Chains A and B, each alone.
Chain A
Amino acid sequence: MYNENALDRISREHRWIGVTFFLDLINGLSLTFKYMFSKSVTMQYPDREKWVPYPRHRGHHVLRRDENGENKCVACELCAKICPCNCITVVPYEDENGKRRPLVYDVDMARCLYCGLCEDSCPEEAIALGSVFEYSSYTSEELVVGRDSLLEMDGKTGDPGSVVKARYLPLAQCTVEAQESSGHDWWRFIHRKD
């Protein structure tokens, strides 16, 4: 559609005619004019829109619960051992049912490199990397996240790979709140050669 050049249709020895009448320049101008009135692809991220990551996205850690609503983690400490940057701290204890559970499960977000090895090594599929990516903070202490907040985190949410309408919450929260569950496919406005 756009790759067809008016000059290509003229044979080589008559090309000077096209150059004299600025066919190449007119071709370029018509291309940019088409782009001028096509939909822009900008995602207005903090203000109006938000990107929902794909399921493969490795964001904020999540501790999953089983069907009874109990923490799946058995505090085997495999994640802490495999972690290349030692950002996971697990302290086990025995709960009232005689099961091994984590007393402490701290993830240092400032050290984590989001490789996902903890997710791969977990035998109970308890730890996972979710799709939350807005958790910046002013101090590195706030980035050490404990067991209870990890249990409350959202996992893979929303309609993956789409752009949803959102609202910016400034100051204290400093996050962008999604306002609809499924949005539009961002790629639909991208021009491609047919």
Chain B
Amino acid sequence: MELMIAVAVIMVKVVLITVILFIVPVPLTWLERKIAGHIQQRMGPMRVGWHGLLQPVADGLKLLTKEDNIPDQSDRVLFKIAPFVALVPPFMVFVAVPFGEDVSILGYETPLYLSDMNVGLLYILAVAGLEIYGVIFGGWASNSKYALLGSLRTCAQLISYEIPMGFAVIGVIMLSQSMNLSDIVDAQEPLWFIIYQPLGFFIFFIAGLAEAQRIPFDLAEAEGDLGAGYHTEYSGMRFSFFMISEYLVMLTISVLCVLLFFGGWHGVLIPLPAPIWLALKVGFFIYLFMWFRFTFPRYRYDQLMSIGWKVLVPLSILNILITGIFIY
């Protein structure tokens, strides 16, 4: 009986997280268009629903009913697999993400995470790195020069920014003496790690921007020079899978920023439930991502590479050294 309940609780949590993650990109697209509009003194979508709130639903219906076009000369198997390969890793990341302390629902004590791994952070970094396969498959299978160039750029970009990202996280691991995300958040209860690790956060955030392929590092889908990058040839549902995956990566980076540097679900001054504090902080980071997108132009490809290897990697190593000296 105990086992049955435990399995049922896990199943409910899995379904809940999957549904939430599928729904989250819907308001995010609306928010992105609204922010884009207001930054450019426009209004963004206004006609479908109140202040265009139903616009993402209309867009979703349009994508669902569109023709699912597969290019004639493409590698059909890879072309069909690629969107799913890109979509699954962001979902897998959230297995290890804690959303708050234990809560009791109907007298049953349950933790707000799916799996409390002792190497949660390593798992997240490893799984998030898998997303690159979807991008490579998509770009290669399309048999289009724009898609191929886009996926090559993405490949180089993701690989070179994963190194400073991993190094930046080491400072946090050294401070909290754990790779378990719940332990890392608990270690920040007196003081957030952003105070101890400003350089680490800076590197992590910039590398995160590059990992999420957001402006100013969105060379993968540079509209001006590549059409739409690796998903140039995709349409309909497969295209929307790529889009959902992109928004989820952005969400992942925001959640990680909050959990690692901004005290996770620990609030300041106002006592609110833990998941709400987490959501507020994540919302702030998502706003930051969108604000950046409509402010900055994108970097040139060689600038991107030199920022990654000549600035961020040495800085992250320096950060590890400084943290080590202070701990010692």
Q: Which residues of A contact B (CB under 8 A)?
A: 25, 28-29, 31-33, 35-42, 44, 47, 189, 191
8 closest A-B pairs by CB: A32-B295, A42-B43, A32-B39, A40-B43, A40-B41, A28-B295, A36-B38, A41-B41
Nearest neighbor of A37 in chain B, beta-carbon distance: B38
Q: Nearest Cβ distance between residue B40 and chain A, in whole angstroms?
A: 7
Q: Are A47 and B38 in contact (CB under 8 A)?
A: no
Q: Which of B107-146 contact A (CB under 8 A)?
A: none
Q: Are A35 and B291 in contact (CB under 8 A)?
A: no
Q: Are B35 and A36 in contact (CB under 8 A)?
A: yes
Nearest neighbor of B292 in chain A, beta-carbon distance: A29
Q: Which of B274-307 contact A (CB under 8 A)?
A: 291-292, 294-296
The dominant DSSP class at the B interface is loop
What residues of chain B lie closer than 8 Å to A38, measured between beta carbons? 41
**Interface residue B71 (Cβ < 8 Å from any Cβ of A):** no
Q: Which of B39-78 contact A (CB under 8 A)?
A: 39-43, 46-47
Q: Which of B1-60 contact A (CB under 8 A)?
A: 35, 37-43, 46-47
What residues of chain A lie closer than 8 Å to B46, measured between beta carbons? 42, 44, 47
Q: Nearest Cβ distance between residue A46 and chain B, in whole angstroms?
A: 9
A-B contact pairs, 7 of them (CB 8 A): A28-B296, A29-B291, A29-B295, A35-B38, A40-B37, A41-B42, A42-B43
Q: Which residues of B contact A (CB under 8 A)?
A: 35, 37-43, 46-47, 291-292, 294-296
Q: Nearest Cβ distance between residue A23 and chain B, in whole angstroms?
A: 14
What residues of chain A lie closer than 8 Å to B294, measured between beta carbons? 32
Q: Known pairs A36-B291, A42-B42; list 16 more (Cβ under 8 Å).
A: A28-B295, A28-B296, A29-B295, A32-B39, A32-B291, A36-B35, A36-B38, A39-B41, A40-B41, A40-B43, A41-B42, A42-B37, A42-B41, A42-B43, A44-B46, A191-B41
A44 to B37, CA, bound (A): 14
Q: Nearest Cβ distance between residue A110 and chain B, in whole angstroms?
A: 29
A33 to B40, CA, bound (A): 10
Q: Nearest Cβ distance between residue A26 and chain B, in whole angstroms?
A: 10
Q: Nearest Cβ distance between residue B222 and chain A, in whole angstroms?
A: 19
What residues of chain B lie closer than 8 Å to A36, measured between beta carbons? 35, 38-39, 291
A68 to B46, CA, bound (A): 48
Nearest neighbor of A44 in chain B, beta-carbon distance: B46
What residues of chain B lie closer than 8 Å to A32, measured between beta carbons? 39, 291, 294-295
Q: Given A28-B295, A29-B295, A35–B41 Cβ distance below 8 Å?
A: yes
A40 touches which of B35, B38, B292 (Cβ 8 Å): B38
Q: Nearest Cβ distance between residue A62 and chain B, in whole angstroms?
A: 33
Q: Nearest Cβ distance between residue B145 and chain A, in whole angstroms?
A: 33
A73 to B102, CA, bound (A): 87
B47 touches which of A29, A31, A47, A189 (Cβ 8 Å): A47
Q: Are A40 and B42 in contact (CB under 8 A)?
A: yes
Q: Are B40 and A35 in contact (CB under 8 A)?
A: yes
What residues of chain B lie closer than 8 Å to A40, measured between beta carbons? 37-38, 41-43
Nearest neighbor of A34 in chain B, beta-carbon distance: B39
What residues of chain B lie closer than 8 Å to A37, measured between beta carbons? 38
A29 to B46, CA, bound (A): 25
What residues of chain B lie closer than 8 Å to A189, measured between beta carbons? 41
What residues of chain A lie closer than 8 Å to B35, measured between beta carbons? 36
Q: Nearest Cβ distance between residue B311 and chain A, in whole angstroms?
A: 11
Nearest neighbor of B47 in chain A, beta-carbon distance: A47
A37 to B292, CA, bound (A): 16
Q: Nearest Cβ distance between residue B186 and chain A, in whole angstroms?
A: 32
Nearest neighbor of A22 in chain B, beta-carbon distance: B202
Nearest neighbor of B40 in chain A, beta-carbon distance: A35
What residues of chain B lie closer than 8 Å to A42, measured between beta carbons? 37, 41-43, 46
What residues of chain B lie closer than 8 Å to A28, measured between beta carbons? 295-296
Nearest neighbor of B216 in chain A, beta-carbon distance: A25
A191 to B41, CA, bound (A): 10
A39 to B42, CA, bound (A): 9
User: Which of A31, A36, A37, A47 has most chain B Cβ within 10 Å?
Assistant: A36
Nearest neighbor of A39 in chain B, beta-carbon distance: B41
Q: Nearest Cβ distance between residue B181 and chain A, in whole angstroms?
A: 29
Nearest neighbor of B294 in chain A, beta-carbon distance: A32
A171 to B190, CA, bound (A): 64
A37 to B38, CA, bound (A): 7
What residues of chain A lie closer than 8 Å to B291, measured between beta carbons? 29, 32-33, 36
A36 to B47, CA, bound (A): 20
Q: Nearest Cβ distance between residue B219 and chain A, in whole angstroms?
A: 18
User: Which of A39, A40, A44 has most chain B Cβ within 10 Å?
Assistant: A40
What residues of chain A lie closer than 8 Å to B292, measured between beta carbons? 29
Q: Are A25 and B41 in contact (CB under 8 A)?
A: no
What residues of chain B lie closer than 8 Å to A191, measured between beta carbons? 41
